[in-house]
Structure 1
Amino acid sequence: MISFLGAILLLILGYMFYGKFVERVFVINDEHTTPAYAKRDNLDFVPMSWWKGNLIQLLNIAGLGPIYGAVAGALYGPAAFIWIVVGCIFAGAVHDYFSGMMSMRHQGAQFPALVGRYLGKYAKAFINGVSLVLMILVAAAFTAGPAQLIAQQTSLSFIIALILIFGYFVLAAVLPINRIIGRIYPAFGAVLLLMAAAVAVALLFSDKPIPNVTVENLHPGELPIWPLLMVTISCGAISGFHCTQSPIIARTMKKESDGRKIFYGAMITEGIIALVWAAAAMTFFHGTAGLQGALEAGGPSGVVTDISSSLLGSAGFILAIITVVLLPVTTGDTALRSSRMILVEVLAKFFNMESKFKLLFVSFIVAAPTFALATIDYTFLWRYVGWTNQVTATFMLWTAAMFLLKNQKLHWIAGIPAVFMTGVVCTYIFYAPEGLNLNYSLSMIIGFSLTLVVAGWYVSQIKKYKNAKQNSSATHAA
């Protein structure tokens, strides 16, 4: 219990102190006119209060991610607490803050446009494809479950339920952000917080002891912590999906000082939610072996329902049903909205994208493959979400590092976690079954070698900008 409460306290302190430090490195200026006013179009660019932005951002980036991912990550034992706290404060929240604030500074630019500006056109082309694939996979993976549950609880077929959900997706993607998302999503975000708080309180007052932190790997299948834990628990620690969502809220900010509360704050909140569910999963089932059995029997949704109904009674069961249906749907629709925004930026070079018919057409382009993928097995999809997600996060951290380096600011706050995440994704793709499925030792050697190469490139960029600064100073002196 001490470790659990201490971890929550560390996350709060991280927001108060490290979040403030990151804000100072970025250097905010409330005299700047934000894109919400400068480019107001009453569709995507609409001023909203910071608390609405925070709750919508939380719902957009979270969904079932910090619940399902934390439940799966709890199989490694209390070591998951360490990753959630350290990853969230020093990597995830930094990632989210810069993805939102850099978008805001560049007139609401989407993530691939930021990558292109700071990492080059080839990186932009690559990440355009990766981002679209990631959001389609996320939307598909988070849609099949709710559709199945609706079909089970009503007389509707699975396909009809899926059609209804996707009809809503298209509407949410093309309507002004303050029409649906701005009005009802803050309430859904509050439901996510309420459920996590209720589970945390019930857990603290139950007779089940919450395990304390240990670095020991307790995974029943003896899977290695590195790099699997860092991919399994993404939402709640660091997730690349977030940088595709942050520009949605960056286009609604009233002033720059709201950024820490919206972006850094939402990520810290998500970390607390992940901590709650990781603790509940490893405590409720009396250890990781019991949790593995529960996951094999009912999947993550079954685990969430069991914990909620047992700890909170009938109210918990209702909350669990609401969570399993509403939260993934609200993540899926904003994923498609982001896809639409990215595709509009790409196609704007060739076509005038102002008409609503064209926006609707672009929304259908991204909705169609998502619908098709939603009809296949959820677990198969989720395997490919993990690595794609963390590759996206790694690119965002490198983009932030280059932004800071170019502006002669403390680039290490993004550069160090970028090197770390490079090691994660490079090792994972060689070891994981959905990757090359190589021997673990060989995967570690290859992953470490590739990380050294990327780190070498980083050092070369530091020298490049340092020399450029010295030459500029010498020119001015002369």
Structure 2
Amino acid sequence: MSAALIGGVSLLCFFLAYRFYGKFIERRIFSTSHDAKTPSVELEDGIDYVPTRASILFGHHFSSIAGAAPIVGPAIAVIWGWLPAVVWILVGSIFIGGVHDMGSLIVSARHKGKSIAEVAKSVISPRTRILFMLIIFFALLVVMAVFALVIALLFISFPAAVLPILMQTPVAIALGYLIYRKRQAHLFTLTLAMVCLLYFFMWLGTIVPIKVPPIFFSSEILTWVVILMAYVYTASTLPVWVLLQPRDYINSYLLLLTLGSLYLGLFVAHPTITAPAIVASPPGAPPILPFLFITIACGAISGFHALVSSGTTVKQMSLETDSRPIAYGGMLAEGALAIVAALACTAGFASRASWGQHYASWSAASGFMIKITAFVNGAGGFLESLGIPASIATTIVSVTIIAFAATSLDTATRLQRYIIAELASSVRVPALQRRHPAT
């Protein structure tokens, strides 16, 4: 089976879904209005509630929801064959995930930007609010820990990616300053300049790879985790326009350019899928049902997206009608990423024998770096077909994965601050309602 054909049909499905089904649910289900007053306008404070144009907010939302999961999930799920993974990604993102994301954004917007826990209080009962917030608190704690560990492992495995990721912070701060303080109207020119600068740092990273010595707890991993926690503390307490929003915005262009390049490389290379369409019972693997739906969550449907929609995105949405391109469009873009991840892990192998060796059993394919390596090698091969040197192609792919994970870590930390502040309000602890103590 041609991987390019699968990729092309998938992109066509996403386009038709956005054009027709997305418009249908916008008009007939949610009845969005251009005149509806959004929380970002009604409660604007210059810190968390900041009215933002849709193109910039899409960047924040897409970068936040698309962590490493839409890559790792398909990389695991193809052990049951490429067909179940592709079908679930298409059906899930179009008919379930996109509607879920858009719905949670609109519902929160119509409740003054409250979290889903606060919405549950008014819709169900006050007791539900506390239970919901506790569940969200522990879920976000796990998300933050996992993403911090993932980024640390990737920094250690791909030291060429460290410099471009670190330089995203000053570049984002400069972009935020130029847009919001200097009121520079030439957003396209600024975006182009900043993205080109990031690609320059990617090239420089291949020449100057950075390795951090084990400063804290005699561990390189824990040293990176400490550095990342210090960074996300700063990012969470700064006004959203200073770092979080511009960083996610330029990251989204970086990620979309990489995604577009992967599809272009797929069409140029025109590889054949070496994996079988369906593997009924892989050795040692759990049954495909229900584990396919558990394995591919981000990329099809994920509850984390509701937290992002009702947490940071809703506080920046200027118009209610922006919900379709931001939430529904963002989910479809994540679906496109999951599709290319599945294809990279099935068509990126030279032969069925090499694929079979990698996915010989559940234990053989286990381990985070094994899954990421399968994607990096396959996706790197797609980029190499465009004439990009192997070292730079690997750096681009690894930077893309880390950038996805880092933006999700940023957003999860800020969301956790909101949840702690809401919990503190419930138990009457005013100190924890402030930004710095809550973070």
For normalisation by structure 1, the TM-score amounts to 0.71
Contact 2:275 2:356 in 1 (8 A): no
What residue in structure 2 maps to residue 176 of structure 1?
239
Aligned to 2:381: 310
Q: What secondary structure does 2:416 align onto?
A: helix
CA shift, 1:174, in A, is 1.3
The question of whether the paired residues in 2 share the 8 Å contact of 1:57 and 1:245 is answered with: yes
Task: Answer yes or no: is the 8 Å Cα contact 1:282–1:291 preserved in 2.
Answer: no
* 1:356, distance to aligned residue in structure 2 (A): 9.6
Of residues 135, 138, 145, the one that matches 1:140 is 145
**Count of aligned pairs between the two proteins:** 362
Partner residue of 1:269? Answer: 333
> Structure 1's 186 and 195: CA in aligned 2 closer, same or farther, altered over 3 A?
same
Change (3 A) 1:274 1:250: same
- C-alpha separation in 1, matches of 2:433 and 2:414: 15
C-alpha distance in structure 2 between counterparts of 1:352 and 1:52, whole Å: 35
Deviation of 1:148 after TM superposition, in Å, equals 3.2
* Counterpart in the other structure of 1:163: 226
Identity of aligned residues (%): 27
Residue in 1 that maps onto 2:114? 109
> Cα distance 1:200–1:123, how it changes in 2: closer, same or farther (>3 A)?
same
CA distance in 1, matches of 2:127, 2:426: 17
Partner-residue secondary structure (3-state), 2:273: coil
Say yes or no: does 1:252 pair with 2:256: no
Shift of residue 117, structure 1, vs aligned partner: 2.3
Q: Deviations over 1:306-326 (max 9, x none)?
A: 223333222211112312433
Q: Is 1:329 matched up with 2:393?
A: no
C-alpha distance in 2, partners of 1:303/1:328?
A: 18
2:18 alignment partner AA: Y
**AA partner of residue 307 (structure 1):** G
When residues 106 and 146 of structure 1 are mapped into structure 2, their CA distance, relative to the original with a 3 A threshold, is: same
CA distance in 2 between partners of 1:257 and 1:207 (Å) = 38
Structure 2, unmatched stretches of 5+, are 160-210, 215-219, 384-389
Tell me which residue corresponds to 1:61. Answer: 65
Give the whole-Å Cα distance in 2 for the aligned partners of 1:307 and 1:212: 13
Instruction: Give 1:291 deviation, angstroms.
Output: 4.2
Contact in 2 for aligned 1:220/1:289 (Cα 8 Å): no
Residues of 2 paired with 1:53 and 1:301: CA distance? 28
Is residue 2:113 matched to residue 1:37? no
Amino acid paired to 2:359: Q
CA contact (8 A) 1:64 1:327 kept: yes
* Superposition deviation, residue 211 in structure 1: 7.0
Is the contact made by 2:53 and 2:318 (CA closer than 8 Å) also made in structure 1?
Answer: yes
**In the alignment, structure 1 residue 50 sits paired with structure 2 residue 54:** yes
Deviation at 1:275, TM superposition (A): 0.6
**Cα drift, residue 33 of structure 1:** 1.5
Q: Secondary structure at the match of 2:298?
A: coil
State the distance in 1 between where 2:267 and 2:153 align. Answer: 33
Other structure's SS at 2:434 match: helix
Shift of 1:207: 5.3
Which residue type is aligned with residue 119 of structure 1?
I
Do the aligned partners of 2:344 and 2:374 also contact (CA within 8 Å) in 1?
Answer: no
1:188 is paired with a residue whose SS is: helix
Secondary structure in 1 matching 2:338: helix
Q: Cα–Cα, structure 1 residues 126 and 190, in superposed 2: closer, same or farther, change >3 Å?
A: same
Deviations 1:443-474 (A, max 9, x none): xxxxxxxxxxxxxxxxxxxxxxxxxxxxxxxx
1:356-376 superposed Cα distances (whole Å, 9 cap, x missing partner): 99321111xxxxxxxxxxxxx
Q: Greater RCO between the two (CA within 8 Å, min separation 6)?
A: 2
| 1:348 partner SS | helix
* Paired letter, 1:176: P
Q: In structure 2, what is the Cα distance between the partners aligned to 1:134 and 1:6?
A: 35
Question: 1:362: which partner in 2?
Answer: 438
Q: For residue 292 of structure 1, what is the aligned residue in structure 2?
A: 359
> 1:3: which partner in 2?
6
CA contact (8 A) 2:130 2:423 kept: no
Cα deviation for residue 166 of structure 1 reads 0.6
Q: Is residue 339 from structure 1 mapped to residue 416 from structure 2 by the alignment?
A: yes
Q: 1:203 to 1:217 in 2, by over 3 A?
A: farther
Q: List gaps (5 residues or longer) in structure 1.
A: 364-478
Match of 1:449 in 2: none
1:469 alignment counterpart: none
**Cα deviation, residue 124, structure 1:** 2.8
Match for residue 98 of structure 1 among 86, 97, 103 = 103
Structure 1 residue 216 displacement after superposition:
6.0
1:186 aligns with 2:257: no
Distance in structure 1 (CA, Å) of the matches to 2:137 and 2:260: 33
2:31 matched to 1:27? yes
Closer, same or farther: CA 111–219 of 1 in aligned 2, 3 Å: farther
Distance 2:93 2:276 in 1: 17
- Please list the CA deviations of residues 177-225 of structure 1 after superposition, one character each: whole Å capped at 9, or x if unmatched: 1110121211111222222222222223325313799566474545322
Q: Does the CA contact (< 8 Å) of 1:150 and 1:156 recur in 2?
A: no
In 2, distance between residues paired with 1:6 and 1:324? Answer: 24
CA RMSD of aligned residues (A): 2.4
Aligned-partner Cα distance in 1 for 2:241–2:10:
35
Q: Give the TM-score, by structure 2 length.
A: 0.77
Q: 1:296: how far off?
A: 4.6
2:7, 2:263 within 8 Å by CA — same for their partners in 1?
no
Separation (CA, whole Å) in 2 of partners of 1:148 and 1:3 = 32
Distance (Å, rounded) in 2 between the aligned partners of 1:296 and 1:34: 45
Alignment of 1:228 with 2:232, yes or no, is: no
Q: Which residue does the alignment assign to 1:279? A: 343
How far apart in 1 are the matches of 2:235 and 2:270?
44
